[in-house]
Structure 1
Amino acid sequence: MEQAIFIFLGLITVTSAWYVAASSNLVRSVFMFFVTLFSIAGLYVFALADFVAVTQIVIYVGGVLVLMLFTFMLSSKETLEKLEERKHQYFTLKQLPALLVAVAFLLVLVNAIFKLNPDHLLWVTQAQNNTFHPQDNTVTNIGTNLMTAYLLPFEAISILLMMALVGAAHLARKGQADD
């Protein structure tokens, strides 16, 4: 039963995230982003990370999505139509420096991960020997879990929050876009 629930939540997460990336309608993408964030919170609950799940719902669903919806409501119709038209263009010459920086950053990150061998770091091996039970909900256990077992999802969510804030600020900006 647990595996079926996990697969169901995973499928909802992947499908809704794919729809967010592939949809040309920005408002529908925001609502599917809502579904994506809720299903990720469900995966956190399933992984016994209740604090991270509640934080996900309060900050991302309650804050970021509301900010994005208000941005869409306050934006002019012409701005939204221009953004929907640009969705069909994958890369332009103006985006080449940003793409090169992103690829260089990815190469540095992958190289650092392979050279670092993070599974054999002292603090990681010590944390892997710790066992936590669902009734252990102290701040120390939450901090240890966030910095060991849930470090990658925690960082992925922080990057997602940053991208959402930059996107919302870009859409909320008045006047002609410099793109």
Structure 2
Amino acid sequence: MTDIAAVPASETPETVATYLRLRGLQPSSKTWKRKRRITTDDDNAPFTPGRDPGALGAVLDKLSRDSGWQKTLAREDLVRQWGDLAGADTAKHSEPVSLERGVLTVKCDSTAWAKNLQYMRATILTEIGRRYPDAGVENLRFIGPDVPSWKWGPRVVPGRGPRDTYG
């Protein structure tokens, strides 16, 4: 049986030599050199394009584009920024309530405000298309306040009913 410490360093496997060196049984070789990693991958080379850290906005933009969130985020921004889009005074009397199949429905405080916004439809639609092209708004619908309906319940009678309800 041979002593492993007596075997020359050139014949011992690297793992055994490392073990012996760490245990203090054999002095480390002066000729030991670290192997240099040779890479042909240019993406990891320093000072190449794309190695600098990106801006946070650009990273979030790429993430939202890759995840398919741009349409949803544009719609949320449209609702959130309605005051800037339509004007502060108009925004006090109106609010977007739904966006379905390309039609943005805006609920107004009164029928007068709904009619005024219908006159401004082209301007508002152009501004929405310029600021939020990903939202997918193709048309606008302005509605007035909800009026009470007497046409519901288990005992509703079909037809027009009495006409003297409001005076």
* TM-score, normalised with respect to structure 2: 0.27
Structure with max Cα Rg: 2
Higher strand share: 2
Higher helix share: 1
Higher RCO structure, 1 or 2 (CA under 8 Å, sep 6+): 1
